[in-house]
Amino acid sequence: MRDVAIIGTGMTKFGELWDKSLHEIFVEAALKAIDDSGVERIDSMYIGNLSGGLFVGQEHLASLIPDYLGVCPIPATRVESACSSGALALKQAFLEVASGFSDIVLAGGVEKMTDVPTDVATYGLAAAADREYEAFQGITFPGLYALIARRHMYEYGTTREQLAMVAVKNHKNGAKNPHAQFPFEITIEQVLNSTLVADPLRLLDCSPITDGAAAVIVCPAEMAKEYTDKPIKIIGVGHATDTIALHGRNDITTLKATVEAGKRAYTMAGIKPEDIDLAEVHDCFTIAEICAMEDLGFAKKGEGGKAVEEGLTEIDGKIPINPSGGLKSKGHPVGATGIAQVVEVVTQLRGKAGERQVKDAKIGLTHNLGGSGGSVIVHILEVM
């Protein structure tokens, strides 16, 4: 297999993009990535998307997107793995280039989620859970993650304040991110006093409903410096699954798919968790970031909340987590999230993150999770 590098990135502003359609959002991000890479052609593309048919009535993205991007007749593939659809698009692009099948491949993700009422969005997102045994009984994703949070608090003494500190830290980072949906700071008191959604989770513990798109261009590492003087090599890829429903798991405070995907990525990269300089993890809810930190080896089991409280995950901390602001502040257009995480890590490794720059960043990790941990994909990136 050939080594693979990222040579271009692009993304839209995340938020309520009322005046843009799904295909317009994707084309904007894709053109930015193409322009950033300097390529004159792409051989193939992968599109991560969960809800095109559910929210805007648009399927067949594998024809729609290349049509409006103006790159027909290249092959295009739409991939879906719930909230990890974006990372799956990158994994497929990586494999296509690594195998030698293509040289220049675009991996992107897109979601248009705000054109429907909240109850319709909630119903659609529940398709990423076990419809028969979870969603049909009335539980939503805030409820599922509330169960995880309550059990984590019971088992390890994680506090309500520590959950709030995750949101506060991510909004502090997101306030420095021009792409963020909610680029403003919040306080612990605001989190604790926000509307209760599913005990113990409150509104400011939850990621928002978001429109947005992101894209990257990958090519063989041996060709990368023909296009950019700052290529970023993909050195590790890990992908794993777990039971879709929480009731099928022995321990709901450990997301086994994260553990396994992390192990596979670390093994492929030949590194350990302590070698990572920064990470973008899937903080769809504040408890999800704490679990991810522990399951990826950045904190001992049960000590994720304490690590946040001690400042270890701040931009200038021992292991900066979500310098982009994470899903919580940056936003969560489901199919685009995994690619947006990669865009942030590439920006950091290039030293171009401005006020939120992590000092001397050389190796970064992305963790993109589907549903309540039924699927997880981890990528590890390194400066060439």
| Catalytically annotated residues | 83, 332
3 state SS of 308: helix
**How far is it, in rounded angstroms, from Cα 350 to Cα 361?**
8
The structure tokens 């992908």 sit at 239
Cα–Cα–Cα angle for 250, 254, 260, nearest 5°? Answer: 100
The structure tokens 């930190």 sit at 293
Burial class (CB in 10 A: 0-12, 13-18, 19+), 380: buried
The dihedral through the CA atoms of 182, 178, 14, 162 has a sign that is negative
DSSP track, 319-343 = S-B-TT-HHHHH---HHHHHHHHHH
Q: From the CB of residue 122, how many other CB atoms can be counted at a distance below 10 Å?
A: 15
Specify the long-range contacts of residues 351-360, CB closer than 8 Å, at least 24 apart. Answer: 353/323, 354/176, 355/176, 356/173, 356/176, 356/177, 356/315, 356/323, 356/324, 357/315, 357/323, 358/277, 358/278, 358/315, 358/320, 358/323, 359/316, 360/277
* Side-chain half-sphere CA neighbours of 61 within 13 A: 30
The structure tokens 């513990």 sit at 205
Closest by CA position to 312, among listed 298, 325, 296:
298
Tokens standing for residue 190: 């605001």
The dihedral through the CA atoms of 290, 292, 295, 298 has a sign that is negative
The structure tokens 């040579």 sit at 7
Alpha carbon separation from 281 to 13, 22, 61, 79, 82 (Å, rounded): 19, 25, 27, 21, 16
Burial class (CB in 10 A: 0-12, 13-18, 19+), 54: middle
